[in-house]
């Protein structure tokens, strides 16, 4: 009987792997590997280290399956070749059994089907909006408002106050300030 090796991943540095690691330790993980990478990133040094460390008979435990179907299937195939099982706590899947492997493939197929449905519905919604004369997506920036915001900031109003006064997003005003080459510190810190 091999070891249970835990793998925890979060998308950004703002998120914390502590909740996942606690669940993995409760599930019997003797060694934990972590990554702070987006789901789309294929560069996962923690997962690579786990795969290098794992031996035949070990079990890779994750809290939930949150990667693409193709990547999951490829990872499970690699694990199976090496005699390593995959356990997902959230979905209650254990590929060490035939039933668990079947459930894994069914869940993966359902997730893939769901993503395809969402993509098709989105495409249909955009086509329907265009047919009604709508232009989906973000409205183009009103250049006059952007110029007015820059003038307000230059006159001493804070970027936040200028954005509020003109009905623009604060981040839009900051982006325009950057594009105009106005350096931080040349406007007031906070003006109502």
Q: Report strand pairing: 85-88 vs 93-94.
A: antiparallel
- Contacts of residue 39, defined as CB under 8 A and 6 or more positions apart, other chains included, come to 11, 66, 67, 68
SS3 94: strand
Catalytic hit among 11, 96, 158, 171: 11
Which secondary-structure segment (H or E) carries 33?
A: strand 31-36
41 in catalytic set = no
Annotated catalytic sites, by residue?
Answer: 11
């Amino acid at each position: 009987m091999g070891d249970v090796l835990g793998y925890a991943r979060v998308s950004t540095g703002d998120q914390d792997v502590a909740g996942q690691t606690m669940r993995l330790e409760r599930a019997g993980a003797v060694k934990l590997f972590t990554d702070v990478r987006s789901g789309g990133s294929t560069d996962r040094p923690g997962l690579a280290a786990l795969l290098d460390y794992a031996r035949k008979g070990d079990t890779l435990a994750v809290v939930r399956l949150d990667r693409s179907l193709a990547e999951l299937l490829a990872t499970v195939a690699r694990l199976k070749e090496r005699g390593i099982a995959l356990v997902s706590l959230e979905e209650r899947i254990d590929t060490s059994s035939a039933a668990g492997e079947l459930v894994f493939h069914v869940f993966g197929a359902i997730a893939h089907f769901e993503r395809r449905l969402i993509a098709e519905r989105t495409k249909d919604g955009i086509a329907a909006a265009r047919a009604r004369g709508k232009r989906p997506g973000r409205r183009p920036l009103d250049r006059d408002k952007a110029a007015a915001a820059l003038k307000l900031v230059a006159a001493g109003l804070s970027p936040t106050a200028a954005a509020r006064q003109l009905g623009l997003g604060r981040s839009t005003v900051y982006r325009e300030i950057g594009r105009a080459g106005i350096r931080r510190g040349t406007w007031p810190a906070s003006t109502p």
